[in-house]
Amino acid sequence: MKRSITLVAGSEQTRDTLVKQLKEYLSDMVSINSYATETGIDQMIKDDLVILSSEAIRNDLLELKLLDTTCEIIVAKRIVSYDFIDKIVLLPPNTDVLLVNDDPESTYETIEILNSIGIDNLNYIPYYPGTKENIKQVHIAITPGEVDKIPAFIEKTYDIGARIMDFTTITKILNRLDILHQKAGIFSQKYLEKIINIAKRLSNSTNKILELNKHLHLVIDGLNDGLLVYSKNGNISVFNENLKKLLKVPYTKIIGKSVKNIVYNKNLLEFLMDKDAVEGKIFELNNLEVFVNKFYLAQEDSVIAVFKSVKETMETNEKLRRELIHKGFYAKYTFEDIIGESEKINRVKRIGKKLAVSDLTILIEGESGTGKELFSSAIHMQSKRKKGPFLAVNFSALPDELIESELFGYEEGAFTGAKKGGKAGLFEQADGGTIFLDEIGDISLKVQARLLRVLQEKEVMRIGGTKIKLIDVRIIAATNKDLVKMVKEKKFREDLYYRLKMGYIHLPPLRERKIDIPKLMDYFIKVETTEDIKISHNTMNELLKYDWYGNVRELKNTLTYMLAVREGINLNLKDIPDKGFFHGIIPDEGTYIQKQIEIDLNEEQRYILEKIYLLNKNGQIVGREKLSKETIGTKYEMTKYQMRSRLESLEKMGLIIKNRGKHGTQLTQNGKEFLMAFVAGYGL
């Protein structure tokens, strides 16, 4: 005669799952009756063996007086079904998930089971009918069959099925029915089959992921564009091969590094870290113009940046054609980019906007770091020439012998080393647009005379040429020198001075508009990091005490330092640099005044000093040949013979010392101090 057993579970789904499990081992040897308390029970539960799905079911039946306690009773111990475990083991570590079940006891029990079997890398948040916790920020739910209890805001559900009876419970049932010796082989075989099946599914899933990742890497590395993906803190998660070539990155392992340690182009870095910058921009990277566009992935809290070679896309992209007229000569800033709310800066902006709509030549005067190029760019973008090219040339960066050829161009054979076919000068290239002549006070009287002719006649002639070319160029000049004094000393042409000063703007130093410092600091924080950094009240008050003789440039460098040394999300007094950081600045009755550094170098000389410093720092022996090779492909390119004359000049100034043998050329202490002062941006 067949023996009979009765199973009682809470829900219909649990009952069906457990009955199915029992039939795997008992087949037709035992008659199985089953009930679910959720559908109601109206008779006494008794049988040869009664199996209850939980202690809670036993208590419910006892309370209803529907359980015959004289029967043999087994309260099942239950575990997560291995048939569905592979659904959740591949979730990323530390993922927040709701663990949804029908009551508190079973919810916490399920969490405990998952942790005990090794799936302990998820952040389980218990949820059951009546839960009052605010968990709307969670998007994933795991449930052992209680799908109907999952809240509506959940986006992804993993149903791992009702929990099944564990190994010890099945063994106990078989033993009570006195058939353990008959079913032991089948029992162990089925248990092993389940483990093998789950292992196969996990292996297949892992292999598919590996294949998919491999395929994605091939696709990403095969893109013609550079691709960069990074977090709000700048940590890189994707960096394809084409971007390595564009940026000439020597590292093999880039993933996990910070963008700041890979990207050295200042303007590009500011663009990448500015969460409010939405329009793409063009940057010059290793003598190649690159259009960079980016967009934010809110769900992943990441940024994707795409780098396109302008040379390859310009012919088919009219927007780029307008933005990049020739070799990256475009205006980067508008008046909206000029930060400040003081009356002084607003007045200058009003004047600049009025002058912009005219076609007058403009002279901008102001100390170093006040934003002369920023204003010239904004004027161009406000003018009728905004669709034309915008060229900026810094006279202090060019040796006198190169200024004429750069400005006016030259014909083939005009001098030794002239390119075949000649070269158009900057005035020709700026035709229809604006040319910004920075540090105008540094040009020689000879160049001043030629420049005056351009202003008067609107025409140029290349060096070695015979043809006069008409040009349509607006000139904006800038200087931090006292041109009136230079005119009196016969160092600057009076007629050129008045030609340049048809329109005039004087930029106020930062110490005269300290009210703008908080806004400037907020802006610089925004472009340096996507974190919500605040400046304490005391810290801001202390910063307002400085006179900032290095102007906005000095302020920005100080902020960059403070962000680097901070310990929390706020900037405090202890983050302000020591006085030694403000190189060349000495205290005087509670204020700061700048000690003048009498050495005046052009940009090329500063470039050589910086190269010597960096090469020495990397343990390399520096000589004229090495330095000459370093300049290849840059705007400072020169032969080793030219380099020799530059080094001799720097040695006479006491900035370098040329050694023979293993030491090579090195900076003197004066050279190091001068370079550090320049890097810090104080008055140079």
**Chain position carrying tokens 């340049």:** 500
Residues 23, 33: Cα–Cα separation, whole Å: 11
Name the β-bridge partners of 593.
586
Instruction: Kindly report the CATH number that applies to the domain delimited by 603-680.
Output: 1.10.10.10
The ranges assigned to domains in the chain are 3-80+169-178, 85-161, 227-317, 335-502, 511-591, 603-680
Residues 171, 219: Cα–Cα separation, whole Å: 53
**Token representation of residue 641:** 């013979």
- Confidence (pLDDT) at 170: 85
Residues 614, 650: Cα–Cα separation, whole Å: 17
**Rg (alpha carbons) of the chain, rounded to whole number:** 38
Report the CATH superfamily, name and number, of domain 3-80+169-178: Probable inorganic polyphosphate/atp-NAD kinase; domain 1 (3.40.50.10330)
Q: Any residues with CB less than 8 A from the CB of 633 and at least 6 apart, and which?
A: 286, 287
pLDDT along the chain (684 residues), means of 10: 87 89 81 91 91 91 92 89 70 86 86 81 88 76 88 87 85 85 60 56 54 53 75 85 80 82 83 78 78 77 81 49 46 85 92 93 92 92 88 76 80 73 82 90 88 87 84 92 91 92 92 91 84 88 87 88 86 82 41 38 83 82 87 85 85 79 76 65 36
- Confidence (pLDDT) at 226: 82
Residues 671, 657: Cα–Cα separation, whole Å: 9
- Confidence (pLDDT) at 61: 92
CATH 3.40.50.170 fits 511-591, yes or no: no
- Confidence (pLDDT) at 617: 77
- Confidence (pLDDT) at 327: 41
Residues 649, 601: Cα–Cα separation, whole Å: 11
Same fold, 3-80+169-178 and 603-680: no
Question: Is 152 exposed, middle or buried, given 0-12, 13-18 or 19+ CB atoms closer than 10 A?
Answer: exposed
**Token representation of residue 616:** 């020495």
- Confidence (pLDDT) at 600: 59
As its CATH architecture, domain 335-502 has 3-Layer(aba) Sandwich (3.40)
**Token representation of residue 326:** 């020739």
Residues 298, 304: Cα–Cα separation, whole Å: 11
* φ, ψ dihedrals at 188, nearest 5°: -65, -35
- Confidence (pLDDT) at 635: 82
DSSP-derived letter for residue 76 is P
As its CATH architecture, domain 227-317 has 2-Layer Sandwich (3.30)
Q: Looking at this protein, which amino acid is placed at residue 17?
A: T
